Amino acid sequence: MNDHFSLQPFDSIHPLDLKIDGSISRNENTLFVSYTLFGDLSKIVIPATVNLPIRKHELWEETCFEFFLGIKNLTRYWEFNLSPAGHWNIYRFDDYRQGMQEEMAMMSLPFSVQNQSEALLLILELDLDKFISVDTLLDVAITTVIKSQEGNISYWALTHTGSQADFHRRDSFIIDL
């Protein structure tokens, strides 16, 4: 199963003319996620690629691609943060914004980033075996944080279900894998 997606900004009146599309699929217990950010990339802050990416906190304070995996019909879920610089982190939650801790089953999160003149591409292939069994049904939310050159932050998601941008709301985990 391959789900194509298009993210929407939380505030529909968005000053940057951007588009974020991608796809997500699961084959056995390997997850494939790709994002493409289209538009005038000079208007946004894109962290420079580093040679030695590391696990890093608070990546969501800059431009950051994210997705959330929840176990269907359970409260546990994971937040994945992927910086265009190559830095990353994975957090596990027991319930809505509760029990946050780094997911230590993963010691690296290799993904590729291609920065082109009118598009930024990010591609991830993730083996889920270390913390999710192959027969586990998942609910997925796909999100992105964009920081403009002026310092404004915009929040992009498949859907926004609350009165404020909140990627952790389980009713926004709308892709089934």
Say what the pTM is.
Answer: 0.94
- pLDDT single digits (tens) 55-68: 999 999 999 999 99
- pLDDT single digits (tens) 19-32: 999 999 999 999 99
pLDDT value at residue 163: 87
Contact 66, 145 (CB under 8 A): yes
What CA–CA distance (Å, rounded) separates 92 from 103? 6
Show the tokens assigned to 153. 């932050």
Q: Identify any residues that bridge with 177 across adjacent strands, giving them in sequence order.
A: none
pLDDT value at residue 14: 60
- pLDDT single digits (tens) 119-168: 999 999 999 999 899 999 999 999 999 999 999 999 999 999 988 899 99
End-to-end alpha-carbon separation of the chain, Å? 8
Q: How many domains does the chain have?
A: 1
pLDDT value at residue 15: 62
pLDDT value at residue 138: 96
Strands 64-71 and 119-127: unpaired
- The domain spanning residue 75 has which CATH number? 2.60.40.1190
What CA–CA distance (Å, rounded) separates 20 from 35? 7
What CA–CA distance (Å, rounded) separates 31 from 51? 24
For 42, the 3-state DSSP assignment is helix
pLDDT value at residue 1: 54
- pLDDT single digits (tens) 65-102: 999 999 999 999 999 999 999 999 999 999 999 999 99
Show the tokens assigned to 16. 């940057």
Show the tokens assigned to 58. 């608070």
Q: What pLDDT band is residue 16 in, cutting at 50, 70 and 90?
A: confident
Diameter of the chain by CA atoms? 45
Domain that holds residue 6: 2-176
